[in-house]
C-alpha cells in the first residue's frame, strides 16, 4: 500500500457503481477479462477480497465498503477538478456536449438549451441525438456533460447520476386538415379505428395515452412506429394518420407541418429531465439548464418578440 494504484482504485470504484464487471467494462471500454484481472491485482495489493458473489451479483465486503467510501471522496474531487480545468478561463468559449433523446421534439430541445446559451460566457455547443440508454453510457464515460431525456431507465438506481426535472407539457393530437375536420365532430369517440402514428422509441407518455384512449372507449389503429419526432409529423402532414405532440408547441407544429390541432389531453403529460454526473453542478452551462425549470409558454412568447 506504499504506492496505491489509483487506476486500479478507479476500476474498483466503477465496478462498485455499476454493480457488475460486465457493465463496468462497457463504461471503461475494457474487456471483462482484463477488468477482472485488474480487480484481482488490486485485491492482492490491499490484502483482501473486495466483493462476494451472490446470485450473480457483486456484494461489497466490509473492506470493499471501507475503500469505496474513500474512493467516493477521491473521485468526486477529481471530477470537480476535471470540470474546472475543462471550463478554462472565463474569456474562453465553454464547451457543452449535450445528449438529446431522439424522441424529444427538437423545438423543445431548443427551449431547454436556451438557458445555457444565455449565460454571459460564450458557449461552444455540441449536440448528439440517440436513445437515452446509449446517451447515459456516454455521460458515464464523460463524453457528454448532460443528457436531456423524457425517460429514466434505471437511473434511479445509479448513485453516481442525478436526475433534474426541468419541464412538462400536456399532450395534444394532430392530423392533416381533411382528416382533422372529419374527426372533430364526436371527439373523442370519432378517433375509434383511426390510423395512429406512434414513436418507435417508446416515449413514456405513450402508455398513458393508450390508457386514455381505452378509458374513453377508443381503439386506434397503429399504422407506423417512427423513431424521429420530425418524421412522424411529415407522415401526419401527408395524411397517413393522427400523431401526438406536446401541447405547448401546437402553434409551431401546425404552422411548420401544415396540420391541424384536434384535441388537447390534459390527463397525459410529457415530462422532461436533465441527467448529470454527480449531484454538484460545476459546469456553468449545465447548471443553467438544470436550474431554469423552463416555462414553455413564456419561452414561446419571448421567441416571437420582434427583433
Question: Cis omega before residue 236 (within 30°)?
Answer: no
d(CA 79, CA 77): 5
* pLDDT at residue 15 in the model: 92
* pLDDT at residue 299 in the model: 45
Tell me the CA distances in angstroms from 242 to 87, 124, 153, 177, 296, one per residue in order. Answer: 45, 38, 27, 11, 24
* pLDDT at residue 301 in the model: 47
Q: Helix, strand or coil for residue 48? A: coil
Say whether pTM exceeds 0.85.
Answer: no
DSSP H/E element including 123: strand 123-130
* pLDDT at residue 286 in the model: 94
d(CA 230, CA 129): 13
d(CA 147, CA 127): 10
Q: Which domains does the chain have, with CATH numbers?
A: 6-86 (1.10.10.10), 90-307 (3.40.190.290)
* pLDDT at residue 83 in the model: 66
Low-confidence ranges of the chain (pLDDT < 70): 1-2, 80, 83-91, 152-159, 200-202, 294-307
* pLDDT at residue 93 in the model: 79
* pLDDT at residue 305 in the model: 43
* pLDDT at residue 209 in the model: 92
d(CA 299, CA 229): 20
d(CA 155, CA 150): 12
* pLDDT at residue 298 in the model: 46
* pLDDT at residue 87 in the model: 59
Give the list of residues 6+ apart from residue 264 with CB closer than 8 angstroms, or none: 170, 171, 172, 247, 250
Amino acid at each position: 500500500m506504499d504506492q496505491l494504484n489509483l487506476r486500479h482504485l478507479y476500476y474498483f470504484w466503477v465496478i462498485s457503481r455499476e454493480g457488475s464487471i460486465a457493465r463496468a467494462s462497457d463504461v471503461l471500454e475494457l474487456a471483462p477479462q482484463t477488468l477482472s484481472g485488474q480487480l484481482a491485482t488490486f485485491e492482492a495489493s490491499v490484502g483482501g477480497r473486495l466483493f462476494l458473489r451472490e446470485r450473480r451479483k457483486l456484494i461489497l465486503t466490509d473492506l470493499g465498503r471501507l475503500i469505496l467510501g474513500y474512493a467516493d471522496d477521491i473521485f468526486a474531487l477529481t471530477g470537480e477538478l476535471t470540470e474546472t480545468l475543462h471550463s478554462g478561463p472565463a474569456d474562453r468559449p465553454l464547451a457543452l456536449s449535450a445528449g438529446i433523446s431522439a424522441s424529444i421534439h427538437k423545438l423543445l430541445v431548443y427551449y431547454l438549451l436556451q438557458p445555457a446559451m444565455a449565460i454571459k460566457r460564450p458557449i461552444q455547443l455540441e449536440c448528439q441525438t440517440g436513445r437515452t440508454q446509449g446517451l447515459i453510457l456516454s455521460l458515464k464515460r464523460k463524453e457528454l456533460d448532460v443528457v436531456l431525456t423524457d425517460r429514466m431507465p434505471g437511473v434511479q438506481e445509479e448513485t453516481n447520476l442525478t436526475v433534474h426535472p426541468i419541464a412538462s407539457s400536456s399532450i395534444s393530437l394532430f392530423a392533416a386538415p381533411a382528416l382533422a375536420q372529419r374527426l372533430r365532430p364526436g371527439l373523442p369517440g370519432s378517433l375509434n379505428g383511426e390510423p395512429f402514428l406512434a414513436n418507435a422509441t417508446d416515449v413514456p407518455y405513450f402508455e398513458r395515452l393508450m390508457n386514455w384512449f381505452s378509458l374513453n372507449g377508443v381503439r386506434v389503429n397503429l399504422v407506423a412506429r417512427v423513431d424521429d419526432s420530425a418524421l412522424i409529423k411529415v407522415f401526419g402532414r401527408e395524411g397517413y394518420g393522427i400523431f401526438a405532440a406536446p401541447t405547448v408547441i401546437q402553434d409551431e407544429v401546425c404552422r411548420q407541418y401544415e396540420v391541424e390541432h384536434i384535441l388537447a389531453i390534459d390527463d397525459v403529460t410529457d415530462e422532461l429531465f436533465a441527467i448529470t454526473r454527480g449531484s454538484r453542478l460545476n459546469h456553468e452551462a449545465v447548471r443553467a439548464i438544470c436550474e431554469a425549470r423552463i416555462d414553455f409558454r413564456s419561452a414561446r412568447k419571448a421567441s416571437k418578440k420582434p427583433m
